[in-house]
Amino acid sequence: MKNQLTRREFIKKNALTGLVAGLPVSLLANHNAQPAILGGAPAWNKNNWPIWPQWNPETDEKELISVIRSGVWSRAAMVTEFEKQWAAAVGTQRCLAVVNGTNALVTALAQYGIQAGDEVIVPPYTFIATVSAVLSNGALPVFVDVDPETFQIDPAKIEAKITPRTKAIIPVHILGLPADMTPIMAIAKKHNLVVIEDACQAHLAEYQNKKVGSIGNAGCFSFQNSKNLAVGEGGAIVSNDNAFMDRCFSFTNFGNPYGTAVGSVSTGSTMQGTKLRWTEYQAAIGLAQLRRLEAQTTLRNENAAYLKSKIKDIPGIRPYRLYDQVTRAAFHLFPFRYEAQEFKGLSRADFLEALRAEDIPCSSGYAVLNTQPFLADTFKSKIYQNAYSKETLSSYNEHNHCPQNDQLCKEAVWFTQNMLLASRNDMDRIASAIEKVYQNAEQIKKRAKN
């Protein structure tokens, strides 16, 4: 309703509020231009977006080559150095590097004793690994709906989902935008729940000037290739809980006591464990990437704020909102909601296609997770059949409806983090392309129908 403005009204309204003066020349000049999908010139030339991951042979290869030539490839000093630097960057006492973010979560849950019979609160708007990690431990993921304005778990809906079986909350700082940690921590304290932050997309994001991952009992990070700190594969657990971190070390090293060097045998395992160690060359790549993370994070924040300011008044474009206590985001993705009715009913798929024709890469983001059939399949296993009542498992879908998330998954549009490393002028090009599609929505819709 609020956004139902014609183009003329839109310009008039914005002219009155002085916004047109602030619009980039490209945006104003372009509003009559033919969209690329209808045969016009694209807003941008193909393949000129910053590549990802970044690598500079001159500055990045020294440690890596020294590792390769040393022949010390299993966990040793380089991994320890990376852990030291990542703990310092996040502001925790400890860090343990592991094979990936998924297993960082699996380990953290296991070492806080989460197991079959327990329930873990998760948001539905997340990467599948958040939920897989809960299932890997035999626990039941309990979905709490999202706040569609922020894309994050809605803290106001958590308490209604807490039962005597609830043991933990996994707030996910999804898209690199921090979840609302103050109410989440208060609820956790009240109900004596462990908080494991899934910060796999939120490197150096901050809430009340504290890095995410350092606020809950533990934080988990991913260094997979697409992530803001990219190593190909990799992950880390951070925490100030020494006993917990010692257990995580043991679990990921065959159960050997904390500090046992690689290659030691007959050390006497302290627990049943597995092996999830990082290699020295992964740490060397990670250290090289860590040197550029701070500046990249600043640039992403600047460009995201600028792009948001340029598109927020286009009817039907609803950019993310950050919670008031967020002091910095990571912007693994730049999200907004797309309201087709404001674009003359042009579907999201057709909107995305038109943007891509302008050489603006974009995607529709996550599909609905909480109703995926793999969940029901998992619950058929002996672990679940033995640990949960028939009633709990058969009414699972009914108790895990997330209507806000269902709608969000239909409306979301994402730009990837590497696009936010481009120039301000390129942010103008994105805005201008969206504006062009808005102007020509009717014709684009007609074309899509034919």
Ligand X SMILES: *Cc1c(COP(=O)(O)O)cnc(C)c1O
Q: Is 276 in the site for ligand X (CB under 6 A)?
A: no
> Considering the complex, what minimum distance in angstroms separates the CB of residue 217 from ligand X?
17
Q: Is 227 a catalytic residue?
A: yes
- CB under 6 A: which stretch of 140-148, 195-203, 237-245, 307-315 binds ligand X? 195-203
Q: How far is Cα 321 from Cα 276, in angstroms, rounded to an integer?
A: 37
Write each residue from 216 to 235 as x if it is in contact with ligand X (CB under 6 A), else as -, in one continuous string: ------x-x----------x
Residue 237 phi/psi, 5-degree rounding, is -110, 130
Q: Is 282 in the site for ligand X (CB under 6 A)?
A: no
> Considering the complex, what minimum distance in angstroms separates the CB of residue 343 from ligand X?
29
> Considering the complex, what minimum distance in angstroms separates the CB of residue 226 from ligand X?
8
Determine the size of the site formed for ligand X (CB under 6 A): 15
Residue 107 phi/psi, 5-degree rounding, is -65, -45
DSSP for 162-219, please give it.
--TTEEEE--B-GGGPPP-HHHHHHHHHHHT-EEEEE-TT-TT-EETTEETTSSSSEE
The one among 107, 130, 303, 418 contacting ligand X by CB under 6 A: 130
Q: Is 417 in the site for ligand X (CB under 6 A)?
A: no
Closest CA to 334 of 425, 427, 223, 231: 427
Q: Are 178 and 205 in contact (CB under 8 A)?
A: yes
Neighbours of 155 (CB within 10 A): 21
Which residue is listed with tokens 């996910």?
172
Neighbours of 31 (CB within 10 A): 16
Task: Please say which residue, 260 or 279, places its beta carbon nearer to ligand X.
Answer: 279
DSSP state of 102: H
> Considering the complex, what minimum distance in angstroms separates the CB of residue 110 from ligand X?
15
The one among 23, 172, 362, 433 contacting ligand X by CB under 6 A: 172
- CB under 6 A: which stretch of 3-11, 18-26, 46-54, 121-129 binds ligand X? 121-129
Which residue is listed with tokens 């059939």?
373
Q: Which of 227, 310, 436, 445 is catalytic?
A: 227
Nearest residue relative to ligand X (C-beta): 101
Using CB under 6 A, list all residues that contact ligand X: 100-102, 126-127, 129-130, 172, 174, 198, 200-201, 222, 224, 235
Give the residue numbers annotated as catalytic, written as ranges.
227
